[in-house]
Structure 1
Amino acid sequence: MPLDASRNSLVLPILGFLGERPAHAYDLATRLRGRYAHLSATRSTVTTLLKSLHRDGLVEAREPGQVGNRPPRTEYELTGPGIACFRAKVESGLRDTPVASVDFALAVAYLGSLPADRAVALLSARAERLAGEQAALPDGSVAMTELDTLEHAYWHGLVAAELAWIATLLTRIRSAELAWAA
């Protein structure tokens, strides 16, 4: 985990889940594993992140509650600053993350939390940035064989695929084909 816990990729979905409803660490870890199987989300990591988010004022802890014979569990809920942090993380993830990154995929998961026009603006800016990055990618060297420069084709393919996906998504948002919450 990064020294600055707010930079951990799990923070965005934790804040997103807490925006849906208050939850305790075990519930959050279970939901994270269920929705984001590609992420390592242990209960201890989630607990550590929740304590850090609490210390930073982004989540508020409720008095531990007990259900049945289970041990008491502290539930957490988002604060005003936590909501602002969540939105900033979604925007940053859409705008600033590298191509094909986990942080971009997590931001896309919460795209619907933004107004449609803001989502369009952020995705358009990302597409413009990626097109510039794609233009700057080397094609390989004439002195080298294709086999020696396969990574260039790989990166071109990744950027092209993401640009195509973003273009399709933008078309769907602009045409209202993709249902957007009010």
Structure 2
Amino acid sequence: MSEGGRVGKLRRVDRDLVGLTVLALLLQGPRHTYEMHRLILDTHKDFVTGLPRSMYHAVERLVRDGLIESTGTSRDGNRPERITYRLTGEGRAELDSRVHRLLATPDPDATLFHAALSFIGCLSVDGARAALAERAAGLEGQSTSAQAQLQTLSARLPRVLLVELEYEQRRAAAELDWTRGLLDDLDSGELSWPDDLAQLMPMPGTEQPEEPQQTEQAEQTD
């Protein structure tokens, strides 16, 4: 983070929503890639695109960077052998950092905030509050700046040339209002979650989902 605890601009890696999703799915415990693939589909993480290939590439990057690691392989009956992965200590810290940055930093790409909200429970309640407070400050600055520009420019330009600035000011103001409401819910306790996410969403049982048409090994070689 930058001085004063402010995040600043997003890094390129912060925009890797597939990698973020893999890190978040491993927070509860080890999983293999097919299970993660099914969870992404079943929980409608629509911001994750290019499946399944993008997920396998993300897993490779995360292993290379030491953020996740293999716990070995397993085979269930006649099903293909699968590699199981788990989060490392570095991966846990990186997950916190990425979610915090995406929550705290207003960005023209609204998909990034959508993804961050999807994984807000990866942070502690206090951590989420701190990140959203940073976002509120940034949005307030954007709204105030856009309003000042409108007042200056409207004196010499027709409105038709300023409607995009009107939109930006209204968008920032509306998002600021919503973010402040979420902060109020955190402060009042209306929105809360346990530090141990296993209490919030237990790991699935031993029942196996149906097999995909392609095996994991075949998908990885695409």
Output the amino acid matched with 2:169.
H
Instruction: Give the superposition deviation at 1:136.
Output: 1.3
Q: TM-score, normalised by structure 1?
A: 0.86
For structure 2, the residue ranges without an aligned partner over 5 or more in a row are: 1-11, 196-222
Q: 1:157 to 1:113 in 2, by over 3 A?
A: same
Instruction: Give the superposition deviation at 1:176.
Output: 0.7
SS across alignment from 1:123: helix
- 2:121 aligned with 1:112: yes
Instruction: Give the superposition deviation at 1:128.
Output: 0.9
SS across alignment from 1:76: strand
In structure 2, C-alpha distance between the alignment counterparts of 1:17 and 1:88, rounded to whole Å: 16
Residue number in structure 1 paired with 2:30 = 22
Deviates more, 1:163-172 or 1:144-153: 144-153
Q: Provide Cα deviations, 1:48-68, integer angstroms capped at 9, x if missing partner.
A: 110110011100113222223
Q: TM-score, normalised by structure 2?
A: 0.72
* Matched-pair contact (CA < 8 Å) for 2:70–2:83: yes
Question: Which one has the largest radius of gyration?
Answer: 2
Q: How many residues align?
A: 179
- 2:56 aligned with 1:59: no
* Matched-pair contact (CA < 8 Å) for 1:16–1:110: yes
Q: 1:150 to 1:102 in 2, by over 3 A?
A: same
SS across alignment from 1:20: coil
Residue number in structure 1 paired with 2:189 = 176
For structure 1, the residue ranges without an aligned partner over 5 or more in a row are: none
RMSD (Å) for aligned C-alpha atoms: 2.1
In structure 1, C-alpha distance between the alignment counterparts of 2:15 and 2:122, rounded to whole Å: 20
Identity of aligned pairs, percent?
29
In structure 2, C-alpha distance between the alignment counterparts of 1:5 and 1:62, rounded to whole Å: 25
